[in-house]
Structure 1
């Protein structure tokens, strides 16, 4: 917070400068103009004295003397008027100086008053203050600090929700329930986050009750789904309840509906649940519904090296086999081999994803390539050898792709 007040002080000094500097410059302008007038008068008197001496010595007649004297007087008047027209300084009396001083003092007073009313100093202090001094805190330390901050800013609904989620992850279920009740009081019912918070509240009650789907949990689940029929957490709880009761078809229905808005870890968790329910149905000999979301992408590939390039490689050199989105750069599946492994048959599928959220199943077509890296780096460099096939469908391949490394990176 010290940095904030220092910055405000610097800005205040700058603002006061906008008041005092013009006044100071005005004073300097007045003094400069006054000095110039005195100098002009002195020059006029000196030149007039010279003219009078020339006249007395007989070097000037009376008419020339009067003419030159008139010219000197005219120049003196012009010089006296020019500074006033150019600078137009304003004389500062005592009252004006007092007004400027008061205005300068009011600048910081008004600024601080407005900031205290309209600013967010508490939030800024939280952002600028690092209680852990750059050290990665433990979960307990982070939660303790969050509790302290919320004690200073109790109207922060987002902060309370984060605390409730932390409690849930730490198996402090009763405390999570209490905090989520507080969040629901702070959030307006028309807030877009409201259905999700209700669903989290239902989940906290569910775990606090020993993972039992009772009436209190169902009431909150139904409330959440009445606001958002595709709320992931609420549908997930319904699926869990159905699965535990052996109603596997119903569980699959709830979880498939939740997939509509799911992504990342939530999507993978739902797919895992659907897969488990499907397997139970198979074990029981019951009909299994069509589940296209469980059809995993796979691309069988046969990688070989062309005869023309065999003399240019060594057995220990690295071979990368990639499947990328057509026109994209990030691999959806990758395998690292050596030249000694060639020729090789392999299958590219979701288990080879570099990122769980970016898999072959997330697209319909890919570009499949294999590259021998001279430097052993994933990025292509001049001299690397490669082969590529594009586009390739990620589903439905019955025969392996014949991928030949037969080109050189220029």
Structure 2
């Protein structure tokens, strides 16, 4: 009986998601491994609607549209390389297209409570309404938020609420909800990538409220936790340009272009870099970003990667030849058989680390079953590759990770 009830609630939740998708004109499938694609697409649709209604001038519409399209570049490319059936971190799991299925399970858990039943009934009513009103949507979300107040430690529930609030353009309400998620996240085991993504979402809510400097602070903090957060890099580049910090803008956009790789369409990025350079040239300044070497590591894992435990983590290192101390390191979840990691000075280990100024370095990769930096028996490893960083600045390396 319990399974039947949950199945019925899950069906209602999915129907509600489909109704919202029709309302916002979004017929595209949302990939479960691209944690930010969902928000980018919704933002584009909202901009289109505002422009069609005449609420957004042509100039602002083009600028905001270009910014959001740019944010999709790297995330869209990554989505095609990620296996959707693989367990991934919190910020990916809870931002999938079945957001409301989690809400359905929460309602089932509170089945006997009158307020939970009322929220459930609101979901059912919305699912059966082909054109729900804004008031109906707000009433349902308000009820869901009130329900969560009784369970303040439900981190995933609060993130689901924040995600829905952002979907509906309620950025002022999503901001404190995300702050709560960040607090809960930091009270448990720390995860740098999760913290970085929540901070980037917070920056986006502040940006939507036209709070440029606080938004930039959040994006910069996000990059401290994950230097390759493409959402944070894009917005940081845009905001530093608006705040007339053109050198920083060029640096952020150049880093983003480097992460996008040679196969991505980087015309929008080039356009923003060009605008910053023009602004500096008007001040008599000729500036070129110097971000040091970049090593694009392409990895192939054994077919048995799907059987790895959820604790498994891929480490990619760059170290001096003859030394075990890494100059740069990336730690990422194992999400597919073919993976890609870019090493730069942003991944330096400590104040003395980094790739700049180095000669020959050794590139290595290892899959740790327990997700720890210290090597252990049974880890999967790749054969080392030696690079001479004095020859050029951009490198591509292919590594094959093998089972012992």
TM-score (normalised: structure 1): 0.33
Pick the structure with more helix per residue. Answer: 1
Higher RCO (Cα < 8 Å, 6 or more apart): 2
Structure of higher CA gyration radius? 1
